[in-house]
Amino acid sequence: MSARVTPAESPPLWLVAPFFLAAPAGLAAAGVIIAGANSDSFAGVNLPRNLAIVHALVVGWVTTTMMGATYQLIPAVLGGRLFSAWLVRLQFALHVCAVPVFVWAFYHWDLPLLEIGGMMVCGSLVLYLANAVLGLARGSRPGVTRWYVMAALSFLLATGGFGLLWVMAMRHALFPITFDRIAAHAHLGLLGWLGLTVMGVSYQLVPMFNVVRGTEPRFSRVALVVTVAALIAFAGVMLLAPPRPVRVVFAIGLAAGPILWGLDLLRLMHHRSRRNLDVQGRATYLSLTMLAVTIALGFTVLAMQVVSPERNNTHVVVAYAMAGVLGWMGTMLIGNTYKILPFLLWYHRYRPLVGRAPVPVTADIYNDRAATAVLASHAAGVAVLVLAALLENTWLLRASGGIFAAVAVAHLGTMLHMFLPKTSSRPMAPATRPLVAR
Amino acid sequence: MKPSVVAGILRHVYDPELGIDLVALGLVYGIDADDEHVAVRIAMTSAGCPMSDALLGSAEAALSYAFPGAAVEVMEATDPPWDPAMLDELARERMGMPPRTASGARRGPG
Amino acid sequence: MAQVELDNRGLMPPEPMVRILSALATLGDDDDLVALMDREPMLLYPELERRGFVWTFAEAGDGYVLTIRKASP
């Protein structure tokens, strides 16, 4: 069976690249705030400083990167078509204006400004969702990844909606914000939006990049169904302040999906034909390790709450959230950035020259050693941060902030380096005709 | 032109992600060439690969450039599905897989 | 039963919240923590609830008074 060559579909370089280049600013901002931490940091989860750090990371770094990645993957991998390039540009402009306002308002606990910042962020999310959903609807390849992305987009809407509602409730004293409501918002965002996107996309990309044939994932559908069901039940029940034992059931449900996904990924990686690991392969293993740490810390938080609810367990909550956002998500994002951006650059700059001139391959476009150094430094930062939180050590905490700020700069540096002209490391065809003849 | 000349051109078209050429990867399923006409069938390493359009387009561009007088046709082949067993020794080495002979000897009895 | 008093007027966030949370760590079962405030501490409430405290918040003069005690089991 044969099919005719179809015209290529990859979005313009300067539609997607700005998201990747702007995102490390979120990591840098979080790093700077963490570096300036004082001994109050573990007094309460809800401290303005802690909220500013989490939102700089999640909305600034992780979500911005994921927006860029999905704008690339929807046409290139999922077979969809972006609704409008101008809508993407408008959304980017709104997003980069919204995040600093949002983080600043959290840091200074300025509720009126937080409401404005929250509305701006939600505006950016709605524009993004419109483009992504319409893009997916306009023809897409069948497959489980598409359903993961659809579910993740729905949870993104729910996360943004709840978040804005909580801010407005505080600003206008509409109803009390309980810790359970904050937990619902956080898990919808962390697992629903970020987690499902990472899970779904890696089901597609990990077998592709690592050349896995003859081994199919076992739990891709089950993990999606379990996670979606657990999240809806968890968010619904947490709004109603459930008794402690009910929470244990939902916590197990929330952990089940990522665990099944992790087992699948380990199996796929074990059966890969491409034995030489590059930065993305290393990131996959690191990310799975961090996921295991996150789940262990999550159950520790739960156990502490059930056993002695009056004890301040802020430090373990901080370790749990940071292992999830910076560890599980962050390492995966760093690894995949070194796949997506070089491919985009190859596609737009070098593919038109294939056969006519020596053309670099993606491995020539980014520096795998530098990328691995960035990844390793980031993982070290996560380890120091989690340790600092568990020991409630302010000095270690500040050190981890310094590491993240440096990682953000180095990560940006390796990305900018990709844009410099590159030469091919591969031999060129013996010239059948001189190049000048054309 | 001879199929071996066509294959020689495809030996310099690389999968951008793996950095290995199409012939070494075992992706070239068929070459049909005469003086006016070059038709090749190329498989993909995975179904739904985002590289597929790029890779087939690259092969077409390289062949059109090498044989300006000929009508070039590049088709995507899906049967049989590509398998890592189709990699040649050079590709296996690049991917960090053990040489075929060595792996056979290791798995053999005794 | 004792009363612990805390004047948080004129302090910028998160100072009032941090001071209250550290004062709570040493609060006895029957003690009241009475804090004078410039504004309602919205971020503090979830932390109080999580640690098993109850509170009242009332206007007093040109400021507010927040009274916190352990929830009866």
Spans of all domains in chain A: 19-419
Q: Amino acid identity, residue C63?
A: G
The yes-or-no verdict on residue A316 having pLDDT over 90 is yes
Q: How far apart are CA A393 and CA A390, in angstroms?
A: 8
The CB density around residue A40, as the number of other CB atoms within 10 Å, is 18
Selected for mutation to probe chain B from A10, A432, A433, A438 (highest B CB count within 10 Å) is A432
Q: Percent of chain A, pLDDT > 70?
A: 95
Q: Do C49 and A178 touch (CB under 8 A)?
A: yes
The yes-or-no verdict on residue A407 having pLDDT over 50 is yes
Q: Tell me how many degrees the CA angle A356-A211-B44 measures, rounded to the nearest 5.
A: 50
Residue C34's pLDDT band, with cuts at 50, 70 and 90, is: very high
In terms of Cα–Cα distance, which of A202, A294, A289 is closest to A254? Answer: A294
pLDDT in tens, B80-109: 889 999 999 989 999 999 998 654 444 444
- CB-CB neighbors (< 8 A) of A107 in chain C: none
Nearest CA in chain A to B57: A5
The fold of the A19-419 domain, in CATH, is Cytochrome C Oxidase; Chain A (1.20.210)
Selected for mutation to probe chain A from C50, C56, C70 (highest A CB count within 10 Å) is C50
Could you tell me if A357 lies within 8 Å of chain B, comparing CB atoms? no
For residue A117, the model assigns a pLDDT of 98
Q: Do C50 and A40 touch (CB under 8 A)?
A: no
- CB-CB neighbors (< 8 A) of A40 in chain C: 14, 18
- CB-CB neighbors (< 8 A) of A318 in chain C: none
In terms of Cα–Cα distance, which of A411, A422, A338, A352 is closest to A378? Answer: A411
Please, which contacts does A392-395 make with residues 24 or more away whose CB atoms are closer than 8 Å?
A: A392/A42, A392/A315, A394/A37, A394/A38, A394/A39, A394/A41
Number of H helices, E strands in chain B: 4, 5
Q: Do A429 and B82 touch (CB under 8 A)?
A: no
* Token code pair at residue A56: 């700089």
Name the CATH superfamily housing domain B3-102.
Answer: Fe-S cluster assembly (FSCA) (3.30.300.130)
Q: Do chains A and C touch (3 or more CB pairs under 8 A)?
A: yes
The minimum CA-CA distance between C44 and chain A, rounded to whole Å, is: 7
How does pLDDT run along chain B (110 residues), one tens digit per residue?
A: 788 999 999 998 999 889 999 999 999 999 999 989 999 999 988 766 667 778 888 899 999 988 988 999 999 998 888 999 999 998 999 999 999 865 444 444 43
The CB density around residue A421, as the number of other CB atoms within 10 Å, is 7
pLDDT in tens, C48-67: 988 889 999 999 888 999 99
Chain A touching partners, 3 or more CB pairs below 8 A: B, C
Q: Do C18 and A182 touch (CB under 8 A)?
A: no
Query: Do residues A177 and C45 lie in contact, with contact meaning Cβ atoms separated by under 8 Å?
Result: yes
Considering its fold, how many domains does chain C have in total?
Answer: 1
* Token code pair at residue A89: 């540009």
Could you tell me if C25 lies within 8 Å of chain A, comparing CB atoms? yes
Q: Do A3 and B11 touch (CB under 8 A)?
A: no
* Nearest CB to C21; choose among A43, A178, A310: A43
Query: Do residues A384 and A310 lie in contact, with contact meaning Cβ atoms separated by under 8 Å?
Result: no
For residue A140, the model assigns a pLDDT of 66
CATH number for the domain that contains residue C29:
3.30.110.40
Could you tell me if A36 lies within 8 Å of chain C, comparing CB atoms? no
The CB density around residue A47, as the number of other CB atoms within 10 Å, is 24
Query: Do residues A372 and A5 lie in contact, with contact meaning Cβ atoms separated by under 8 Å?
Result: no
Q: Do B57 and A213 touch (CB under 8 A)?
A: no
pLDDT in tens, A154-210: 999 999 999 999 999 999 988 888 888 898 999 999 999 999 999 999 999 999 899
Question: What domain range is C45 assigned to?
Answer: 3-70
ipTM above 0.90, yes or no: no
- CB-CB neighbors (< 8 A) of A179 in chain C: 46-47, 49-50
